[in-house]
């Protein structure tokens, strides 16, 4: 997936560089294998969207960097821990075009390294969060686990409607991005109403972000997204475009047969995607993305200082534009 253009996060660029440095420092282990896997995960990179949003929201009130680093680092470590466990669960071979930890070191070491990163995250957080903030963070991990378990339970089930999908996306993705923004606003000691608005902004960005991911799984090339096209369909994850096509395609019965098939051939996946493309599922899904982004923009507190506001608006624009 494409990285965010540097200038979007310009005003927290130095903070993000410090987060990067701290990530390498905190994961150091006397056990070589733990080091190797953790460094691989940090190097695999990613957008650092969550700590960036945390920092942007906190910088509204410009507290000093050292106060913000622990939570920014903890947020990214939790994200990394959930990714490495998700890859185990999805049997994913690649992420962002690189081999996953589970493909390279096996599922078992990956489960343990995920646990290690969770513990490191909570170790980091002791320095930078009060009880209320720690509670937000632990609650959102529980929510993500619940979302992933629901996704597992509902895999290959064509009887899911859009409301089920939205709830799942909220639990899996949007709630954590919402919490990142909320925690940033709390670290920035903002007013309660501003905290609530920035949380709402993060939630809507998260929804838009995940729906876009789900669209790209169907429309982008394998080279662009760094994993096989139609991966979700093959894994039984029923996403918005598929739900739309199951309801609106003349070939809905055939698509349903494909969705319930737990051992799909490449041909099945290809035909499934064809049926989705035969409807206006993609247009419909993008329209939902744009609704969430508009809501995100409208949620920004009017009291935000201008550079922070501009950056948060630019994040919304970028989520709407990315094509891979």
Answer for which of 48, 79, 120, 227 binds a copy of itself (CB under 8 A) is 120
Name which of 17 and 149 has its Cβ closer to a copy of itself.
Answer: 149
How far apart CA 244 and CA 279 sit, in angstroms, is 8
**Among 176, 193, 98, CA closest to 138:** 176
Name which of 19 and 88 has its Cβ closer to a copy of itself.
Answer: 88
Report which DSSP code applies to 61: G
Task: Please count the CA atoms within 13 angstroms of the CA of 92 that sit on its side-chain side.
Answer: 24
Name which of 152 and 222 has its Cβ closer to a copy of itself.
Answer: 152
* H-state helical runs in the chain: 13-26, 32-43, 49-58, 65-90, 101-105, 107-125, 131-153, 162-169, 175-187, 192-219, 222-225, 231-235, 240-248, 252-260, 266-277, 281-299, 306-321
Answer for which of 85, 95, 199, 234 binds a copy of itself (CB under 8 A) is 85
Contact segment (CB under 8 A) with a copy of itself among 140-148, 172-180, 184-192, 205-213 equals 140-148
Name which of 5 and 106 has its Cβ closer to a copy of itself.
Answer: 106
Is residue 6 at the binding interface for a copy of itself, with CB under 8 A as the rule? no
Q: 286: which residues sit within 8 A by CB, 6+ positions away?
A: 215
How far apart CA 151 and CA 169 sit, in angstroms, is 9
How far apart CA 232 and CA 222 sit, in angstroms, is 13
Answer for which of 18, 68, 81, 319 binds a copy of itself (CB under 8 A) is 81
Residues 239-298 that bind a copy of itself (CB under 8 A): none
Site mask for a copy of itself (CB under 8 A), range 12-51, x = bound? -----------------xxx-xx-----------------
**Among 90, 190, 82, CA closest to 140:** 82
Answer for which of 127, 222, 287, 321 binds a copy of itself (CB under 8 A) is 127
Radius of gyration of the CA atoms of the chain, in A? 20
Is residue 93 at the binding interface for a copy of itself, with CB under 8 A as the rule? no
Site mask for a copy of itself (CB under 8 A), range 145-184, x = bound? xx-xxx-xx-------------------------------
Residues that bind a copy of itself (CB under 8 A): 29-31, 33-34, 81-82, 85, 88-89, 106-109, 111-116, 118-120, 122-123, 126-127, 131, 134-135, 137-139, 141-142, 145-146, 148-150, 152-153
């Amino acid at each position: 997936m494409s990285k965010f253009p540097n200038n979007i996060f310009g005003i927290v660029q130095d903070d993000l560089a410090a987060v990067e440095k701290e990530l390498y420092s905190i994961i150091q282990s006397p056990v070589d294998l733990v080091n190797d896997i953790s460094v691989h995960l940090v190097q695999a990179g990613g957008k650092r969207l969550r700590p960036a949003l945390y920092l942007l929201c906190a910088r509204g009130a410009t507290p000093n960097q050292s106060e913000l680093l622990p939570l920014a680092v903890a947020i990214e470590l939790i994200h990394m821990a959930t990714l490495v466990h998700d890859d185990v669960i999805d049997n994913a071979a690649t992420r962002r075009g690189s081999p996953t930890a589970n493909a390279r070191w096996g599922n078992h070491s990956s489960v343990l390294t995920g646990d290690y990163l969770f513990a490191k995250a909570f170790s980091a957080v002791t320095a930078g969060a009060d009880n209320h903030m720690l509670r937000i963070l632990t609650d959102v991990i529980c929510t993500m686990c619940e979302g992933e378990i629901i996704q597992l339970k509902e895999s290959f089930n064509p009887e899911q409607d859009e409301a089920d999908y939205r709830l799942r996306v909220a639990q899996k993705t949007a709630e954590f991005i919402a919490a990142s923004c909320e925690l940033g606003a709390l670290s920035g000691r903002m007013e309660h109403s501003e905290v609530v608005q920035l949380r709402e902004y993060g939630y809507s960005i998260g929804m838009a972000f995940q729906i876009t991911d789900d669209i790209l799984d169907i429309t982008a090339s394998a080279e662009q997204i760094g994993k096989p096209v139609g991966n979700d369909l093959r894994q039984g994850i029923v996403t918005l475009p598929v739900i739309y096509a199951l309801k609106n395609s003349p070939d809905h019965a055939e698509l349903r047969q494909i969705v319930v098939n737990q051992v799909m051939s490449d041909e099945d996946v290809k035909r499934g995607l064809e049926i989705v493309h035969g409807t206006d599922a993609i247009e419909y899904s993008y329209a939902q993305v744009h609704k969430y982004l508009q809501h995100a923009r409208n949620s920004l507190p009017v009291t935000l200082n201008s550079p922070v506001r501009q950056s948060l608006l630019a994040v919304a624009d970028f989520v709407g534009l990315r094509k891979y």
